[in-house]
Structure 1
């Protein structure tokens, strides 16, 4: 009887898992994840590297090795990653690597669409990602790069900004969590995102944008990474 109750209780826990409920929707990213796994097999990670994971802003960072030197980089971004699929694939993306620190940028859960997550839901998913990381990596610092303000998603900026604030406050409560603030550097004197930092879609960054990103992230690494 006790065994039956345990099995039933375990089944309930699994059905309520924040990762389990995202699995079906995340299946569309399986080919992209397999490409990253092939890359893991083909490439040898540099020593004391920084692992960068997340969405297309990570994937499209062509000059990441040069921009982030002298910190060696492992680049593992994919498509339009959301936390809802990153949580499903996090172990497959992260666990094959040894790294000095983890940098996370996932910016597609709040876009101004009908399926948006709330700021508190985004915070909850970040906490879940932290738990997944800590199962294997107990002490490596995790750096969360703030969602950058963009004109393509300007109508959702109040909610995006709230998510940033919630994650920043949470990071302050943990020893090895760091929040990388970017808002001030990406907004011009008119209070709007600076055009020259973004390509025509007003979402993805130009090299000038990546130069700013790199300087902000590197400064944070210099200040906090021992």
Structure 2
């Protein structure tokens, strides 16, 4: 009954979200579900778009931490909401580290307020089911390929940061600021040739910010 009510809540939430072109990730999610039938208890779940998916050595970056890596490339906040029952709840993680919003703004031209609103939906649905889990949001990164999106990304980051500051058992990982150079522009050495995905140096910046926030 509890799962049924949660599914209905997700459905109602999705019906009230702005109309978005949605990608079917069922096959990719099924592959991730099959990766380990016995995930670590009280794990730290990293979930989100390609910046999580392509983080080679994520588990090794935080030795001794029960990391679960569940990124699905190209995803948006609404995709994450849709897959909460498959990607989040089954693991009963002690901490959820979220990276979404980048594609919402950069690909779908959503506003900062759209991202903020959908993050609140994710937060409230997840907190209702996992009341004791720490929820950590990774700031939307500043990418050279998405310079035009940087003001909206910075605005969304600030809104989410302010919200989490008033909530218990949460954290905001500000990777945005250290990824900028002295000129206020994205540091080119942190990005691959596509100017969107990160190099190992970029992930080192993330590691330095996120590491102290892990439980």
Name the TM-score class by shorter chain. Answer: 0.7 to 0.9
For residues 96-175 of structure 1, the aligned pairs below 5 Å read 96-106=90-100, 107-111=102-106, 113=107, 115-175=108-168
- Partner Cα distance (1:182, 1:87) in 2: 23
Compared with structure 1, are the counterparts of its residues 25 and 38 closer, same or farther at alpha carbon in structure 2 (3 Å cutoff)? farther
Taking structure 1 as the reference length, what is the TM-score of the superposition? 0.84
Query: How many residues were matched structurally?
Result: 206
Taking structure 2 as the reference length, what is the TM-score of the superposition? 0.88
1:63 match: 57
2:3 match: none
Q: Give the drift of 1:191.
A: 1.4
For residues 35-114 of structure 1, the aligned pairs below 5 Å read 35-41=31-37, 44-106=38-100, 107-111=102-106, 113=107
Contact conserved, 1:25 with 1:85, CA < 8 A, in 2? no
- Partner Cα distance (1:135, 1:170) in 2: 17
Where do 5+ consecutive residues of structure 1 fail to align?
A: 1-12
Contact conserved, 1:40 with 1:96, CA < 8 A, in 2? no
Q: Give the drift of 1:199.
A: 0.6
- Partner Cα distance (2:115, 2:75) in 1: 13
- Partner Cα distance (2:47, 2:125) in 1: 14
Larger Rg: 1
Matched, 1:34 2:30: yes
SS in 2 for 1:28: coil
2:174 match: 181
SS in 2 for 1:51: strand
1:6 match: none
Contact conserved, 1:48 with 1:72, CA < 8 A, in 2? yes
Q: Give the drift of 1:147.
A: 0.4
RMSD between aligned alpha carbons?
2.2
- Residue number among 10, 13, 19 corresponding to 2:14 in the alignment: 19
Compared with structure 1, are the counterparts of its residues 213 and 108 closer, same or farther at alpha carbon in structure 2 (3 Å cutoff)? same
Q: Give the drift of 1:40.
A: 4.2
- Partner Cα distance (2:59, 2:33) in 1: 20
Compared with structure 1, are the counterparts of its residues 24 and 120 closer, same or farther at alpha carbon in structure 2 (3 Å cutoff)? closer
1:202 match: 195
- Partner Cα distance (2:118, 2:162) in 1: 15
Where do 5+ consecutive residues of structure 2 fail to align?
A: 1-7
- Partner Cα distance (2:144, 2:62) in 1: 26
Q: Give the drift of 1:174.
A: 0.5
